[in-house]
Chain A
């Protein structure tokens, strides 16, 4: 009976215990780190030493830790922003652009309305960023709601349009007149900068508030319920009397607004200026953060923090080992691959021939 069954068969799992799922995920991260270690070894370094140095750089000192938290803020902010859109199965990959237009709007106030008292100015920047980001999210949503225009590519294109706008402002109207050489935008005045709490700009508290609020919003609010229904089935939503276009637009405005505020936090809290790197890929990475967290905002905190450690750590090993800082992206990519892959083993069982129904579970 050698040809009795195919070698592998796949069957859906019933419920899997939380502990087991966690173990599978931990194993995936471990495997990813091993794979990354192989690359490090190929470059002629000791992976353990490199990883240890990364951890030390990101967590070992107060300065390092503050830097890591500072990197976590935009990742978490953007991931929280993406959550409602993805819950609705609206593939918003435009967080990058929404962050940028938010930062642009905030920068306008930060450069030209500095006569305002600090609190008023910061509130104005916050609101401007929210509205700008929200509108940037609303545009593709309106087309999607009305004509079913593909939102994935639309939001993507808006990223580049936002970047073009920023470049234009930086090279033209907003160029620092005092700057020489490469055109840059001037640093914000003191009262346009976010105050620090425990050594890191207050943005970390704001994103934590957003995180909790989003958790409550998605899980316990009526609007969160509507988002979930639209995401599962638009037909059901219409059947239930929901105004689907309205919900799509409302949700994307919210998503874009939070991204925009994230841009404001980066510009006014971390960089004190606006440049082409204000978003710097955060919007893309945040999508993977949100997805790996299963769109649960609380879990996003841990994943965002972890990726921030990688990023900060990579800066450290660049100086100490001369390993290019792009190692952060390579490692992030590898970890994402393994994490995405391991979900399969949480949802399905693989039955290997000859081991029977109760057989090998991987």
Chain B
């Protein structure tokens, strides 16, 4: 064993119930390198790393740190071995300050010396180029600041092996650049760094070597300068896939929703939607881009009647192609029931599938009736039609489930999404909103979802697609609405816009950005 190996994993296996999350995975990480752990969602990357950070315990296999076999039973064990992980969902206590979070769980005698702690934090920050206010509470911070706190927390503990789980998912391109330069500083300092990601261009940009996982199995490790995105994709998905997503030409699009001056202030008094105006057309897919938390969620919920807002959302029915009136039907101020009673069928696939779109503890049948249970007998619920619908969806979308009464919580992410999208489409909507519908899905499931959305578009439905992957947005959508900080920074043409343009619009809202990149 070479001493330069920071970590070596041998034949690590982990199962959850009947699902094999990691199947005999072996892997090495060297000091002074950045290793990308690449794989699709659900390929077992996070599970593997959670075993290094003490969150999970492997069923079998060996872990070596610095050439010595070790047992990592808890996060504390991991820290003592110098392993620190920055989780995708930040593990910070909201009501505590940055400094308090950083020293959390550290041994130490006597009362807290807050001054000494603050000094040490600023020393680390200077060394690697962070900016951080130790006395700020976490709930007052922006996402990128929280990530900084996480990284400092790990460094403060003297970690020399850092694991970052999808660190760029919540960052703007500019913030991502900053993060990468910090990572390069740490690498120069001799630290071993593992980045979990599924974004190929980041892999190419920042890493020295790439390890690829597919469906819980280890595929191989390659030097970054010996490979290219196409080869990596092949390793990742197992076969060369056409990256081309279908995009049929819209047929006679008609205005379906006209949103004007939509403004939403959330519970904490923050303006999350700021005079948003746009039009969604039937027969078109309108993409909604923006970094996480730019108002996408509130926008969808406002249209669905779930968010108190000011402004206008005008709906134009088009049964016979003639607009009912020039004014349309006002949706603002109506709850979901009131909207439905107007005969308007809005379908909404929310981001939080199990916490909002579905009832996690119920089976498919009971989930099918969520939107339609009011029909039929005045008192008793009729479970026959929903059961039939469930069976149809299982058949047509190839949902893998033991039966229609198995709680949907137990299904895999892709199957959960098929259940949800299947139900929403079955309602025969005239507007379909889908928030991050392919997040966490494997490539095949993603394509099924794209296909379903395209079919709805061809039926004349106005489709709103909220996405995070710019490549997908640019290949699937006819037009792309870009949000930044609750404001519309522009609407781009999906066929002509470039990734860089959209990326820039995601971070600025001034008039220049709109004129420069709007379509």
A11 to B17, CA, bound (A): 8
Q: Which residue of A lies closest to B376 (CB)?
A: A222
The contact of A4 among B71, B336, B366, by CB within 8 Å, is B71
The answer to whether B360 touches A241 (Cβ under 8 A) is no
Secondary structure at the B interface, as helix, strand, loop or mixed, is loop
How close is A37's CB to chain B, nearest CB, in angstroms?
Answer: 39
CB of A360 closer than 8 Å to a CB of B? no
The contact of B57 among A5, A220, A240, by CB within 8 Å, is A5
A228 to B365, CA, bound (A): 14
The answer to whether A220 touches B371 (Cβ under 8 A) is no
Known: A222-B381, A232-B360. A241 touches B373 (CB 8 A): no
A224 to B360, CA, bound (A): 17
How close is A185's CB to chain B, nearest CB, in angstroms?
Answer: 40
Mark contacts of B354-369 with chain A using CB atoms, 8 A cut-off: 1 yes-contact digit, 0 otherwise: 0111111110001001
CB of B304 closer than 8 Å to a CB of A? yes
Q: Return chain A residues, CB-CB under 8 Å to B352.
A: 235
How close is B316's CB to chain A, nearest CB, in angstroms?
Answer: 22
The answer to whether A239 touches B304 (Cβ under 8 A) is yes
The answer to whether B335 touches A14 (Cβ under 8 A) is no
A221 to B15, CA, bound (A): 39
How close is B54's CB to chain A, nearest CB, in angstroms?
Answer: 11
Q: Return chain B residues, CB-CB under 8 Å to A238.
A: 306, 336
How close is A349's CB to chain B, nearest CB, in angstroms?
Answer: 11
Q: Which of A5-19 contact B (CB under 8 A)?
A: 5-6, 9, 11-12, 14
How close is B98's CB to chain A, nearest CB, in angstroms?
Answer: 29
The answer to whether B361 touches A239 (Cβ under 8 A) is no
Q: Return chain A residues, CB-CB under 8 Å to B18.
A: 14
The answer to whether A222 touches B359 (Cβ under 8 A) is no
How close is A257's CB to chain B, nearest CB, in angstroms?
Answer: 17
The answer to whether B304 touches A232 (Cβ under 8 A) is no
The answer to whether B17 touches A14 (Cβ under 8 A) is yes
How close is A82's CB to chain B, nearest CB, in angstroms?
Answer: 20
The answer to whether A222 touches B379 (Cβ under 8 A) is yes
How close is A310's CB to chain B, nearest CB, in angstroms?
Answer: 33
Q: Which residue of B lies closest to A7 (CB)?
A: B73
CB of A318 closer than 8 Å to a CB of B? no
The answer to whether A241 touches B336 (Cβ under 8 A) is yes
Q: Which of A233-254 contact B (CB under 8 A)?
A: 233, 235-236, 238-241, 243
Known: A6-B73, A14-B18, A241-B340. A232 touches B361 (CB 8 A): yes
Q: Which residue of A lies closest to B73 (CB)?
A: A6
Q: Return chain A residues, CB-CB under 8 Å to B436.
A: none
The answer to whether B379 touches A240 (Cβ under 8 A) is no
A296 to B222, CA, bound (A): 57
Mark contacts of B116-149 with chain A using CB atoms, 8 A cut-off: 1 yes-contact digit, 0 otherwise: 0000000000000000000000000000000000
The answer to whether A241 touches B335 (Cβ under 8 A) is yes
The answer to whether A225 touches B369 (Cβ under 8 A) is yes
Q: Return chain A residues, CB-CB under 8 Å to B373.
A: 222, 225-226
CB of B68 closer than 8 Å to a CB of A? no
CB of B348 closer than 8 Å to a CB of A? yes
The answer to whether B370 touches A229 (Cβ under 8 A) is yes
A229 to B380, CA, bound (A): 16
Mark contacts of A1-44 with chain B using CB atoms, 8 A cut-off: 1 yes-contact digit, 0 otherwise: 00111100101101000000000000000000000000000000
Q: Return chain B residues, CB-CB under 8 Å to A225.
A: 366, 369, 373, 381
CB of B337 closer than 8 Å to a CB of A? yes
The answer to whether A3 touches B355 (Cβ under 8 A) is no
CB of A343 closer than 8 Å to a CB of B? no
A129 to B221, CA, bound (A): 74
CB of A357 closer than 8 Å to a CB of B? yes
CB of B374 closer than 8 Å to a CB of A? yes
How close is A229's CB to chain B, nearest CB, in angstroms?
Answer: 6
A225 to B379, CA, bound (A): 11
A232 to B374, CA, bound (A): 19
How close is A150's CB to chain B, nearest CB, in angstroms?
Answer: 18
Q: Return chain A residues, CB-CB under 8 Å to B175.
A: none
Q: Which residue of A lies closest to B339 (CB)?
A: A241
Known: A232-B359, A236-B356, A239-B357. A222 touches B380 (CB 8 A): yes
CB of B460 closer than 8 Å to a CB of A? no
How close is B276's CB to chain A, nearest CB, in angstroms?
Answer: 21
Across the A-B interface, give the 10 residue pairs with the lowest CB-CB distance, nearest first. A241-B336, A241-B337, A235-B356, A240-B370, A232-B359, A222-B381, A3-B71, A239-B356, A225-B381, A232-B361
Q: List 26 A-B contacts (CB under 8 A).
A: A3-B71, A11-B17, A12-B17, A220-B381, A221-B379, A221-B380, A222-B373, A222-B374, A222-B380, A226-B373, A229-B359, A229-B362, A232-B360, A232-B361, A233-B355, A233-B359, A235-B356, A236-B355, A236-B356, A236-B357, A236-B370, A238-B336, A239-B370, A240-B336, A241-B335, A241-B336
Give the interface of A toward B (CB within 8 A). Answer: 3-6, 9, 11-12, 14, 220-226, 228-229, 232-233, 235-236, 238-241, 243, 357
With A225-B366, A233-B359, A233-B360 known, 12 other A-B pairs at CB within 8 A are A9-B57, A222-B379, A224-B381, A225-B373, A229-B370, A232-B360, A232-B362, A236-B358, A239-B350, A239-B370, A240-B371, A241-B335
Give the interface of B toward A (CB within 8 A). Answer: 15, 17-18, 57, 59, 71, 73, 304-306, 335-337, 340, 348, 350, 352, 355-362, 366, 369-371, 373-374, 377, 379-381
